């Protein structure tokens, strides 16, 4: 059936809803066109976010005579003409177009490339990839690499363990360093060859160090100095000396340390071509607000620009290529990307669409939610497609004092060899390790109270199999890649579905099998039910009997019992599932206001934000 909507209308949808009118769950700003847009989303509940699935594809194809994508079920189209908003910006400030962007020819973008050579990477890099055993790109890499190579600012969203790191590292290495495409004009653009050309920011030392290792692996031992880590907890003067001596082209670090060294004038990033914010939703949270603000304002800013001039701010954002990455993309990230990036695109495993066509309600809902609560919807949207499809989820009900014992039985029942158990408080975490060890299970603790060396030693032991159960907190929830990890256990409940998704994603990496078990008290079962609804995955109740995991049919019984329990009702009241906004009131004169996307969202207990108990991120 021919669609009623023309491709032009797609952008009308983006344009007739003025951005300022959009609020969470707002329907008043929606025009007729946008209503049609949503109804189309409903019809494709289980499909990925593509224009095809939004109902625009057929018409678009007919009118623009675009070729079909190679993949039958993947239809992605791309604007051939610039949206009006873009034209307006260009007219307002012509100097903004410092970085020339080519329109992506979507027909030529392989969404499931069979080899890295199809993606336009230079041959020295492909050779290195083959040497390291990377032969076939993942879906998200197939979509992201050509898009970044065409100079687009992007938000990369794909489920945990799907290879997002290489999705941005490879296009950077194609343009920066010894493996780059020799025809690259980068050096002329950036001026001095000794300038930092790429800054990669990650929210934890562990993740930053992991990224450094991934880049070093590709560069090879002879080129290790091209990349340098700048993480908190390590000697700052040594890092500054290394910067001076080695003149790295790529730095990877935590926001605090990068901002600190940059403020001291020891890190020259004005000519920087790439800024990557890995785990962007975490980086935009309240904890990192100031540091990230500084980084966004300084990286890729040409020297000589007036830091207080509005005009120069625009030039600044266009100078660098901004890449934002996460498995979970709440709408706050979409807003931040619109604010800090230049015409950003949302890159998912099988689709590339302009971010400006997204509204809070238009993010793909792969599974319907029955809740009418718009906050819940937003939380749901943020976690859609964040979990590897093969992961299995269960929950098990026990008393508080039996949790560790249940964990032990769970490990034996599943015969798990590499387990990450998450808790919320350091003291209880230490007790759990003590109990496990006392019962003969090799366990270790990983949390922010440990020094940098202690943390990396424990991680090494866990990765090498010397430690079977790693008991940790949110420190290890994001980005940590231990491919062997076959079981994740929530000994304490995560604060929200986003935290659940990242914890769960430590297992089942890159198509491997993985199980997630949440061990909770009866009064907490309603939380698991809500997580299940938000994540759109079944989480059946189970027991561990006679060394086996048994899925019981007591689900309803538990739900009933917990909802009747007085304590549980009180808890539910307290643990109100409301996303809270921590307003940021910062507007220094002459400086750009921190966008509202710097608000952090979390569930709330007693009306106060449920901040991470150990305040681990502050230790950066
Ligand atoms: N094309 C590939 N072929 C084989 N292995 C790959 C490929 N791409 C990535 N990997 C490996 O897959 C694992 C997961 O990759 P990565 O850590 O980048 O996932 P991610 O999507 O960033 O996960 P998270 O969201 O948890 O941070 C890593 O061990 C990485 O080396």
Neighbours of 265 (CB within 10 A): 8
Is the confidence metric ipTM above 0.90 for this complex? yes
The pLDDT score that the predictor gives to residue 360 is 67
CB 313 within 8 A of CB 592: yes
Relative to the CA of 116, which ligand 1 atom is closest? 1
Choose among 293, 319, 316: nearest CA to 305. Answer: 316
Expressed in angstroms and rounded, the spacing between residue 428 Cα and the centre of ligand 1 is 32
The pLDDT score that the predictor gives to residue 180 is 85
- DSSP symbol at 620: -
Q: What is the pLDDT of residues 244-278, one digit of tens each?
A: 999 999 999 999 999 999 999 999 898 899 999 99
**Phi and psi at residue 548, to the nearest 5°:** -130, 150
357 against 522, higher pLDDT:
522
In this structure, are strands 542-545 and 548-551 parallel, antiparallel, or unpaired?
antiparallel
Q: State mean pLDDT over 498-527.
A: 95
Relative to the CA of 505, which ligand 1 atom is closest? 26
Does residue 92 have a pLDDT over 60? no
Does residue 549 have a pLDDT over 50? yes
Pocket flag, ligand 1, residue 165 (CB < 6 Å):
yes
Instruction: Ligand 1 pocket test: pick from 156, 159, 165 the residue with the most ligand atoms within 8 Å of its Cβ.
Output: 165
Mean pLDDT of the chain: 73
CB 619 within 8 A of CB 448: yes
Does residue 592 have a pLDDT over 50? no
Q: What is the pLDDT of residues 371-393, one digit of tens each?
A: 444 444 555 566 667 899 889 99
Choose among 107, 248, 251: nearest CA to 178. Answer: 248
CB 330 within 8 A of CB 346: no
CB 525 within 8 A of CB 490: no
Q: What is the pLDDT of residues 274-333, one digit of tens each?
A: 999 999 999 999 889 899 999 998 898 764 444 444 444 444 445 799 999 999 998 889
Does residue 76 have a pLDDT over 70? no
520 against 546, higher pLDDT:
520
Q: What is the pLDDT of residues 99-130, one digit of tens each?
A: 444 444 434 445 677 889 999 999 999 999 99
As a whole number of angstroms, the distance between CA 477 and CA 462 comes to: 15
Instruction: Give the pLDDT band (50/70/90) at residue 194.
Output: low
599 against 337, higher pLDDT:
337
- Tell me whether domains 116-180+195-303+317-356 and 383-551 share a fold: yes
- Kind plus residue range of the DSSP H or E element containing 345: strand 345-348
Instruction: Ligand 1 pocket test: pick from 117, 121, 163 the residue with the most ligand atoms within 8 Å of its Cβ.
Output: 163
The predicted model scores a pTM of 0.73
CA distances (Å), origin 8, targets 14, 83, 342, 412, 603: 10, 9, 21, 58, 40
The pLDDT score that the predictor gives to residue 193 is 52
> Of the ranges 72-76, 502-506, 555-559, which one carries the lowest mean pLDDT score?
72-76
User: Mind giving me the DSSP string for 363-380?
Assistant: S--SS------HHHHHHH
The residues spanned by each domain of the chain are 116-180+195-303+317-356, 383-551
Pocket flag, ligand 1, residue 503 (CB < 6 Å):
no
606 against 165, higher pLDDT:
165
Pocket flag, ligand 1, residue 597 (CB < 6 Å):
no
As a whole number of angstroms, the distance between CA 494 and CA 422 comes to: 8
CATH-assigned architecture of domain 116-180+195-303+317-356: 3-Layer(aba) Sandwich (3.40)
Instruction: Give the pLDDT band (50/70/90) at residue 604.
Output: very low
CATH-assigned architecture of domain 383-551: 3-Layer(aba) Sandwich (3.40)
Q: What is the largest CA-CA distance in the chain?
A: 72
CB 355 within 8 A of CB 156: no
Instruction: Give the pLDDT band (50/70/90) at residue 611.
Output: very low
Share of the chain above pLDDT 90, in %: 52
Expressed in angstroms and rounded, the spacing between residue 510 Cα and the centre of ligand 1 is 6
> Of the ranges 30-44, 200-214, 248-262, 343-357, which one carries the lowest mean pLDDT score?
30-44
Q: State mean pLDDT over 40-44.
A: 33
Relative to the CA of 278, which ligand 1 atom is closest? 27
Burial of 23 (0-12, 13-18, 19+ CB in 10 A): exposed
Instruction: Ligand 1 pocket test: pick from 137, 324, 510, 516 the residue with the most ligand atoms within 8 Å of its Cβ.
Output: 510
As a whole number of angstroms, the distance between CA 50 and CA 44 comes to: 10
Expressed in angstroms and rounded, the spacing between residue 214 Cα and the centre of ligand 1 is 10
């Amino acid at each position: 059936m021919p669609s009623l909507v023309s491709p032009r209308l797609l952008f009308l949808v983006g344009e007739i809803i003025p951005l300022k009118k959009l609020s969470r769950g707002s329907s008043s700003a929606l025009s007729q066109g946008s209503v049609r847009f949503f109804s189309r989303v409903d019809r494709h509940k289980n499909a990925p976010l593509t224009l095809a699935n939004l109902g625009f594809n057929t018409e678009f194809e007919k009118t623009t005579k675009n070729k079909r994508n190679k993949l039958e079920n993947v239809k992605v189209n791309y604007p051939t003409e610039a949206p009006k908003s873009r034209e307006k910006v260009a007219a307002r400030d012509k100097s903004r177009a410092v970085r020339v962007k080519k329109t992506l020819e979507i027909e030529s973008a392989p969404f499931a490339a069979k080899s890295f050579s199809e993606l336009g990477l230079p041959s020295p890099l492909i050779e290195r990839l083959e040497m390291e055993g990377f032969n076939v790109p993942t879906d998200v890499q197939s979509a992201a690499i050509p898009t970044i190579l065409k100079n687009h600012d992007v938000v990369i969203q794909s489920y945990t363990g799907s290879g997002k790191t290489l999705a941005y590292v490879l296009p950077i290495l194609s343009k920066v360093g010894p493996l780059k495409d020799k025809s690259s004009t980068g050096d002329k653009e950036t001026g001095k060859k000794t300038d930092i050309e790429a800054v990669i920011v990650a929210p934890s030392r562990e993740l930053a160090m992991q990224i450094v290792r991934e880049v070093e692996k590709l560069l090879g031992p002879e080129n290790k100095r091209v990349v340098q880590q700048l993480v908190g907890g390590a000697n700052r003067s040594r890092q500054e000396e290394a910067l001076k001596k080695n003149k790295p082209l790529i730095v990877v670090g935590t926001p605090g340390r990068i901002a600190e060294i940059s403020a001291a004038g020891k890190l020259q990033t004005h000519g920087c071509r790439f800024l990557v914010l890995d785990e962007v939703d975490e980086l935009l949270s309240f904890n990192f607000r100031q540091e990230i603000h500084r980084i966004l304002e300084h990286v890729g800013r040409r020297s000589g620009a007036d830091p207080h001039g509005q005009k120069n701010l625009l030039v600044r954002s266009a100078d660098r290529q901004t890449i934002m990455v996460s498995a979970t993309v709440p709408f706050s990230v979409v807003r931040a990307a619109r604010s800090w990036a230049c015409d950003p695109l949302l890159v998912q495993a099988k689709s590339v669409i302009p971010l400006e066509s997204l509204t809070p309600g238009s993010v793909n809902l792969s599974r319907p939610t029955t809740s009418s609560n718009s906050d819940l919807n937003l939380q749901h949207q943020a976690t859609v497609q964040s979990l590897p499809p093969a992961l299995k989820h269960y929950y098990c009900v026990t008393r508080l004092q039996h949790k560790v014992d249940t964990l032990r039985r769970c490990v034996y029942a599943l015969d798990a060899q590499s387990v990450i158990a998450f808790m919320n408080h350091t003291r209880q975490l230490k007790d759990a390790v003590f109990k496990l060890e006392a019962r003969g299970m090799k366990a270790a603790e990983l949390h922010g109270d440990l020094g940098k060396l202690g943390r990396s030693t424990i991680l090494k032991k866990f990765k090498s199999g010397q430690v079977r159960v790693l008991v940790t907190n949110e420190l290890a929830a994001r980005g940590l890649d231990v491919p062997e990890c076959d079981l994740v256990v929530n000994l304490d409940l995560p604060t929200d579905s986003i935290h659940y998704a990242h914890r769960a994603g430590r297992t089942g990496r890159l198509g491997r099998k993985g199980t997630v078990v949440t061990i909770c008290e009866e009064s907490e079962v309603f939380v698991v039910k809500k997580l299940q609804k938000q994540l759109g995955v079944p989480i059946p109740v189970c027991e561990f009997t006679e060394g086996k995991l048994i899925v019981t049919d007591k689900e309803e019984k538990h739900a009933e019992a917990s909802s009747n329990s007085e304590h549980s009702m009180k808890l539910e009241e307290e643990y109100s599932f409301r996303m809270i906004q921590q307003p940021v009131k910062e507007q220094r004169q002459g400086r750009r206001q921190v966008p509202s996307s710097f608000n952090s969202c979390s569930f709330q207990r007693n009306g106060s934000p449920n901040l991470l108990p150990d305040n681990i991120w502050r230790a950066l």
